[in-house]
Chain A
Amino acid sequence: MAQQATILNVQRFTLHDGPGIRTEFFLKGCPLRCDWCGNPESFTRQPEVGVFANRCISSELCDDCKLVCHDLQMLIFTDSKLDSIDRKQCSSCLECAQVCPSEAIRPWGHSMTVDECMKVIIQDRGFYERSGGGVTVSGGEPLLQSDFVGQLFKACKQQGIHTCLESSLYANWNKIESLLPVTDLFISDLKLMDSQRHKQYTGVDNHKILENLITLSATNKPLILRIPVIPNINDDEDNIKASADFILQQMQGKVRTLQLLSFMRLGEEKYQSLGLPYKMQDLKFDRAAFQKKVEKIAVYFNQRGIHCMIGAKEKAEL
């Protein structure tokens, strides 16, 4: 039984992943590698360092990272400012992040116990109660740490706090099944209906995901489904039609809301901090025309009888 989880970030007062005012836990580690991902720091399960070069006050004024680093070759400076870290050599001991005074080096990920999480959760309990909010666990892929999620949600339910799991559902069904009794709301994605293309753009095929969506919808658990609409990747007519067919035929339309999330160029700075390439770098598209297209897609889904909206705001049921 895992008592601890690797948590990337705890965000209080989130409004977009589930109804009302929520506290959201982003768990670290994800089996998918979506090209458009805005949270690359969530890819690996282990804590790692992020480098924010523009915050470094220069090696002439401060050498704290050099004093703790086991191999100075790993710290790469440009114009005496820390530019990056040689990830192949770095053991992710995180000591440099602990000492860096300017937070130019920050730890991506830290361990938290269920009790520690609950302490943060309880602090905003009054806000959840008034707004119909609660707790959301997201990622990364939280199902990689499903035991922990189960324990956290159980603790939430004991306190009467609403729980929401945001997941790709790329996991074995038994992991999802074990969370059913303690999860009030699921949020998941339909990224691409064509399995090969799914694999091309996310790193994994979609069989398991679609199967789990079908099984989950059969349980009648409240489910919000999202399509991250990405120009030239999944905004074509075929994919949209196939998505609607799937929802209506395979899932019997059991989706509370279908939310269309228009692609935003997010997370470039974070890719840099991790020394990773940003795959959407060269994507060029007309924002206005794209937005119109997304609007048309929303109209299409609604015409097919699927309650669809643009954006992630969710009305609370008070």
Chain B
Amino acid sequence: MDNFSLDAEHLQVQGTQHHTLAKGLDDFDKVYGLGYEVGHEDWSPYPRVNYLRQTFLDRPYDIDVERLRLVTQSYQANEACPRIIQCARAFENILLNSTLHIYDQDLILGEIAAPAKASPIYPEFSVDWILDEIRNSPFEERSNDQFYIRNAQDRNEILALCEYWKGKSANEIITAHLDEDQKKGSHMGEKVFQTNNYHFAGIGHFAMDFTKLMTLGYDGVLQQAREAFAKLSKQDPDYSEKRDYYKATLISLEAAKTYIQRYATLAREMAKVESNIKRQHELQQMAQNCEQIAGGAAQSFWQALQLFNFAVTLTQIEGNGHSISYGRMDQWLFPFYEKDLEQNAVDKSFTLELLEVLYVKMNNPTKLKDKGTVKVRNGRGFGGESLTIGGVNSLGDDATNDLSMLMLEASVHTRMMNPWVCLRLHENTPYELKVKAIECVRAGYGHPKSFNDGPAIKAMISKGLSLEEARNYAVVGCVEPTLPGKEFGWLDAGYVNTAKMLEMVINGGRILAGPNAGKQLGPDTGSLESYKNFDEVLESVDKQFAYWCDQLCSCLNVTDKIHRQVKPTPYISAFFEGCIESGKDMTYGGVKYNGTAPQAAGIATCADSLSSIKELVFEQKKYSGKELLDAVKDNWQGHEKLYALVNSSKIPHYGNDNDEADQLFNFMFECYCRHIKGRRNARGGEFSPGVYTVNANVGMGLYTNASLDGRKNEEPISDNMGPVHTAGGSHDISGPTAIVNSVTKVDHSLATNGTLLNLRFPEDAVSGIEGRDILLSFVDEYIAKQGMHVQFNIMSSEKMRAAQKAPEKYADMLVRVAGYSAYFVELGKPLQDDLIHRTELRF
């Protein structure tokens, strides 16, 4: 904690930059602009890419009924089957019968059983909100995240089909398996924690083993499954379950092959009638690609991208979990790039064009979400499609290659929500790669995010992985380090509102105010009226957190077990080590490593609240505990003096490099991580804590009573690892170096499921070559101080306000929300305001 002392080691890291021969197409230090420009020109050098990008932006967010129809037909036809077979048959029915789409100028095929940008419906998970919202609060009329049902006929068909699913969906079954005691703190009760994500939707949140698929092809994986099935003994007590798993796997993989073959056929047919020779050739080549990879391994870079897109979209057809991440894409894709270059099969420019076409295509999958979810988490994409580049290889050496550079170039040439590019940094990351990443950041569209190999690898090892495995982590979703193809981490398992837990701490386990004021929700571990000293407060925090983490984790284990019963995912399981080998679906714990990872929000809200208590009640003794308690019970009304005081710099606040305040943050951070880490989950793995909340801090704040950091009822709680900002003022007033120092006083590796830090600079702060170097050295120092993750918005408050006023001029302005970027003008007003209120770091 003592930053005053100097250690020799710290002095040695400075100054030396490493270099690479890896090259993209642009100069490594090409400047891509500074922030978003109204009326900007096309960003990509490829007209095709600009065309595809624009057609994406122009397309409406429709709701498509076809998947719902095909799934329902199949379930009805197979009602007596074992569930896993029923699931596989439904998947097969979609793949054999859904409408295929090949779009003008596209080079990569495959959607998610719906037209581009249209959302399918996944009745397996939940339908009651769909029925309710269509009837009572139409998707078309939402203030944000609108979706459009095409016509009355579709509307009626959706309603009719959804009726079949009543009482059968995962959500209803999970709810029926939770008792009142479990519900009271959940999203169905007081929202101390929210696990509704996986009541309403699939799990997702993984990176599959792409190398396995690329090198074996579907035929190779089928072969593996058949061989394992052949070895299955009838003496095995789980014989029938395993048999059904293998059967489901074979059905699913065979269906995948047929589906790809259908695309080949369609492309051939379209080529026959295509008058443009160039396009005809492209269609023929795409048909040939599909014919090869329908069963076989990818033989070229283009085929690898094509197989990748099928692999991912099929995952999204099987289930609707988000954060289907792309793993270390510059690594697993590199052999194909290298081979193509060696054989002079394509030039580097076409490689980049293909990557950019794929990037645009990655934006097509959208997902209809319930109104409660979009309140806490804006965005109509699936979300979480992280693409990891850079980092060290399994030996610990830098892994940068040409694709690392090209993947950043493709990102800055397209500037869309997807993919969420993540750069893994370590002490030997080459200068050229860092500069290119910084130039992307300065362009102001929010990508890439930076991840630190140091604490991430340490976190992976503490989850039980070997060093070699740990070094191969990829980032999934926002900030979750995960081992591709070997880990089913059940990430983003639930949002935990630590501010709400603290409410119980100060008020004897009771709700402070509102309609349920005085209701005994948690155990009585004391209150501000009873604590004799500050240590008693901290002990109470510990007890209260222990209780609520028990509640949370018991609910999550119920959810886990119901997904196993209701919606196993045999197609996805085939690409995870351990499933085919053991005859167990991933939902049954078949994968080598298993986690469950809920994430905390409001740590700084708690820390600054504790600071108010410590300072005013126990140190200065200016106020009694009761006076503080009354202030928040009254939502600060009639306590204006105290309100001003707790929001002033007279109270030590987290984020200012003040050891006293930062120790309280550390206490809260460590307390949450300790109570989650190491608990056993339903799949034979362990729970894993994360300290990131995406933008759920806004929605959670809406349900949280006033807090002693100086927050009023309904205001956002603190975001991720960030400091507090309330309507009474931003609590971080000492600039970005102080924030970094505060944030890095905690051991980030304790949050084995990741931490998240947002920083925002106005454009002029990072302008010029000087600004680039400042940002570079700033990131380098954050990494040296062992922060796990950092991402930047390069956008002034004025620009965001201008976009609120004239949204039409800012239609494609991306803003970094949390782990992800989103179109600013499509966000809900509360989130827009929260982004504006996050401290702009000026100098």
Q: Answer whether residue B778 sits at the interface, using C-beta atoms and an 8 A cutoff.
A: yes
Q: Answer whether residue A21 sits at the interface, using C-beta atoms and an 8 A cutoff.
A: yes
Mark out the residues of chain A between 97 and 155 whose CB falls within 8 Å of any chain B CB in the assembled complex. Answer: 101-103, 119, 122-127, 129-132
Q: How far is it, in angstroms, between the C-alpha of A204 and the C-alpha of B736 when the chains are bound? A: 38
Q: Answer whether residue A87 sits at the interface, using C-beta atoms and an 8 A cutoff.
A: no
Kindly provide the distance from the CB of B612 to the nearest chain A CB, expressed in whole angstroms: 12
Q: How far is it, in angstroms, between the C-alpha of A12 and the C-alpha of B771 when the chains are bound? A: 16
Chain A hits for B640, CB < 8 A: 57, 61-62
Contact (Cβ within 8 A) A101 B644: yes
Q: Answer whether residue A32 sits at the interface, using C-beta atoms and an 8 A cutoff.
A: no
Chain A hits for B812, CB < 8 A: none
User: CB within 8 A of A126: which of B14, B768, B771, B841?
Assistant: B14
Contact (Cβ within 8 A) B737 A12: yes
Q: Answer whether residue B318 sits at the interface, using C-beta atoms and an 8 A cutoff.
A: no
Chain B hits for A129, CB < 8 A: 11, 14-15
Please name the residue on chain A nearest to B638 by beta carbon: A61
Q: How far is it, in angstroms, between the C-alpha of A21 and the C-alpha of B782 when the chains are bound? A: 14
Chain A hits for B14, CB < 8 A: 126, 129-130
Kindly provide the distance from the CB of A10 to the nearest chain B CB, expressed in whole angstroms: 9
User: CB within 8 A of A318: which of B11, B15, B841?
Assistant: B15
Q: How far is it, in angstroms, between the C-alpha of A119 and the C-alpha of B6 when the chains are bound? A: 11
Mark out the residues of chain B between 146 and 201 whose CB falls within 8 Å of any chain A CB in the assembled complex. Answer: none
Q: Which of A55, A124, A132 neighbours the largest number of chain B CB atoms within 10 Å of its CB? A: A124
Q: Answer whether residue A314 sits at the interface, using C-beta atoms and an 8 A cutoff.
A: yes
User: CB within 8 A of B737: which of A101, A103, A124?
Assistant: A124
Contact (Cβ within 8 A) A125 B6: yes
Mark out the residues of chain B between 737 and 787 whose CB falls within 8 Å of any chain A CB in the assembled complex. Answer: 737-738, 741, 765, 767-771, 773-774, 777-778, 780-781, 784-785
User: CB within 8 A of A101: which of B650, B770, B781?
Assistant: B650
Contact (Cβ within 8 A) A130 B843: no
Q: Answer whether residue B828 sits at the interface, using C-beta atoms and an 8 A cutoff.
A: no
Q: A16-B843, A20-B774, A313-B770 are in contact. Are A130 and B780 (CB under 8 A)?
A: yes
Kindly provide the distance from the CB of A126 to the nearest chain B CB, expressed in whole angstroms: 5
Mark out the residues of chain B between 646 and 660 whose CB falls within 8 Å of any chain A CB in the assembled complex. Answer: 648-650, 657
Q: A12-B738, A15-B765, A126-B14 are in contact. Are A102 and B780 (CB under 8 A)?
A: no
Q: Answer whether residue A13 sits at the interface, using C-beta atoms and an 8 A cutoff.
A: yes
Please name the residue on chain A nearest to B5 by beta carbon: A122
Q: How far is it, in angstroms, between the C-alpha of A55 and the C-alpha of B10 when the chains are bound? A: 42
Please name the residue on chain B nearest to A313 by beta carbon: B770
Q: Answer whether residue B68 sits at the interface, using C-beta atoms and an 8 A cutoff.
A: no
Q: Answer whether residue A252 sits at the interface, using C-beta atoms and an 8 A cutoff.
A: no
Residue count of chain B within 8 Å CB distance of chain A? 38
Q: A57-B641, A126-B14, A129-B14 are in contact. Are A15 and B778 (CB under 8 A)?
A: no
Q: Which of B14, B650, B734, B770 neighbours the largest number of chain A CB atoms within 10 Å of its CB? A: B770
Mark out the residues of chain A between 290 and 318 whose CB falls within 8 Å of any chain B CB in the assembled complex. Answer: 313-316, 318
Q: Answer whether residue A239 sits at the interface, using C-beta atoms and an 8 A cutoff.
A: no
Q: Which of A16, A102, A122 neighbours the largest number of chain B CB atoms within 10 Å of its CB? A: A102
Contact (Cβ within 8 A) B843 A101: no
Chain A hits for B784, CB < 8 A: 126, 130
User: CB within 8 A of B777: which of A11, A103, A127?
Assistant: A127
Chain A hits for B650, CB < 8 A: 101, 103
Contact (Cβ within 8 A) B648 A101: yes
Contact (Cβ within 8 A) A21 B641: no
Q: How far is it, in angstroms, between the C-alpha of A159 and the C-alpha of B767 when the chains are bound? A: 30
Contact (Cβ within 8 A) B777 A131: yes
Q: A11-B735, A316-B773 are in contact. Are A130 and B781 (CB under 8 A)?
A: yes
Q: A15-B774, A101-B650 are in contact. Are A126 and B10 (CB under 8 A)?
A: yes
Chain B hits for A19, CB < 8 A: 770
Contact (Cβ within 8 A) B11 A315: no
Contact (Cβ within 8 A) B770 A126: no
Q: Answer whether residue B3 sits at the interface, using C-beta atoms and an 8 A cutoff.
A: yes
Q: Answer whether residue A64 sits at the interface, using C-beta atoms and an 8 A cutoff.
A: yes
Q: How far is it, in angstroms, between the C-alpha of A11 and the C-alpha of B765 when the chains are bound? A: 15
Q: Answer whether residue B22 sits at the interface, using C-beta atoms and an 8 A cutoff.
A: no
Contact (Cβ within 8 A) B648 A130: no
Q: Which of A21, A101, A314, A316 neighbours the largest number of chain B CB atoms within 10 Å of its CB? A: A101
Q: How many inter-chain residue pairs (CB < 8 Å) link A and B?
A: 103
Kindly provide the distance from the CB of B227 to the nearest chain A CB, expressed in whole angstroms: 54
Q: Answer whether residue A46 sits at the interface, using C-beta atoms and an 8 A cutoff.
A: no
Chain B hits for A243, CB < 8 A: none
Chain A hits for B649, CB < 8 A: 103
Q: Answer whether residue A14 sits at the interface, using C-beta atoms and an 8 A cutoff.
A: yes
User: CB within 8 A of A315: which of B641, B735, B767, B769?
Assistant: B769
Contact (Cβ within 8 A) A313 B6: no
Q: Which of B3, B769, B774 neighbours the largest number of chain A CB atoms within 10 Å of its CB? A: B774
Q: How far is it, in angstroms, between the C-alpha of A313 and the C-alpha of B843 when the chains are bound? A: 12
Contact (Cβ within 8 A) A13 B15: no
Mark out the residues of chain B between 670 and 728 whose CB falls within 8 Å of any chain A CB in the assembled complex. Answer: none
Mark out the residues of chain A between 40 and 74 whose CB falls within 8 Å of any chain B CB in the assembled complex. Answer: 55, 57, 61-62, 64
Chain B hits for A64, CB < 8 A: 641
Please name the residue on chain A nearest to B651 by beta carbon: A101
Q: How far is it, in angstroms, between the C-alpha of A168 and the C-alpha of B576 when the chains are bound? A: 69
Contact (Cβ within 8 A) A101 B774: no
Interface string of B610-652 (1 = CB under 8 A from A): 0000000000000000000000000000001110110011100
Kindly provide the distance from the CB of B723 to the nearest chain A CB, expressed in whole angstroms: 15
Q: How far is it, in angstroms, between the C-alpha of A1 and the C-alpha of B360 when the chains are bound? A: 67
Q: How far is it, in angstroms, between the C-alpha of A315 and the C-alpha of B767 when the chains are bound? A: 12
Chain B hits for A20, CB < 8 A: 773-774, 777
Chain A hits for B777, CB < 8 A: 20-21, 127, 130-132
Kindly provide the distance from the CB of A101 to the nearest chain B CB, expressed in whole angstroms: 4
Chain A hits for B736, CB < 8 A: 13
Chain A hits for B641, CB < 8 A: 57, 61-62, 64, 101-102
Contact (Cβ within 8 A) B770 A15: yes
Interface string of B821-843 (1 = CB under 8 A from A): 00000000000000000000101
Chain B hits for A12, CB < 8 A: 734-735, 737-738
Chain A hits for B767, CB < 8 A: 313
Kindly provide the distance from the CB of A165 to the nearest chain B CB, expressed in whole angstroms: 19
Q: How far is it, in angstroms, between the C-alpha of A102 and the C-alpha of B770 when the chains are bound? A: 38
Kindly provide the distance from the CB of B435 to the nearest chain A CB, expressed in whole angstroms: 13
Q: How far is it, in angstroms, between the C-alpha of A87 and the C-alpha of B510 when the chains are bound? A: 51
Contact (Cβ within 8 A) B737 A127: yes
Contact (Cβ within 8 A) B4 A314: no
Q: How far is it, in angstroms, between the C-alpha of A189 and the C-alpha of B765 when the chains are bound? A: 23
Interface string of A71-92 (1 = CB under 8 A from B): 0000000000000000000000
Mark out the residues of chain B between 246 and 267 whose CB falls within 8 Å of any chain A CB in the assembled complex. Answer: none
Contact (Cβ within 8 A) B3 A57: no
Chain B hits for A123, CB < 8 A: 3-4, 657, 737-738, 741
Q: How far is it, in angstroms, between the C-alpha of A15 and the C-alpha of B785 when the chains are bound? A: 21
Contact (Cβ within 8 A) B737 A57: no
Q: A64-B641, A126-B10 are in contact. Are A21 and B774 (CB under 8 A)?
A: yes
Q: Which of A13, A21, A55, A61 neighbours the largest number of chain B CB atoms within 10 Å of its CB? A: A13
Contact (Cβ within 8 A) A13 B770: no
Interface string of A249-268 (1 = CB under 8 A from B): 00000000000000000000
Kindly provide the distance from the CB of B173 to the nearest chain A CB, expressed in whole angstroms: 53
Chain A hits for B738, CB < 8 A: 12-13, 123
Q: Beyond the given A103-B650, A130-B15, could you list 13 further A-B residue pairs with CB under 8 A, ordered by the A residue number?
A: A12-B738, A13-B735, A14-B843, A62-B640, A122-B6, A127-B777, A127-B781, A129-B11, A129-B14, A130-B784, A313-B768, A313-B770, A315-B770
Mark B residues whose CB is within 8 Å of A.
Answer: 3-4, 6, 10-11, 14-15, 640-642, 644-645, 648-650, 657, 734-738, 741, 765, 767-771, 773-774, 777-778, 780-781, 784-785, 841, 843
Return the 3 tightest CB-CB contacts between A and B, nearest first: A102-B644, A130-B777, A131-B777
Q: List 21 A-B contacts (CB under 8 A).
A: A15-B774, A15-B843, A20-B774, A61-B640, A64-B641, A101-B645, A101-B648, A102-B641, A102-B645, A103-B649, A125-B10, A127-B777, A129-B11, A130-B15, A130-B781, A131-B777, A314-B770, A315-B769, A315-B773, A316-B773, A318-B15
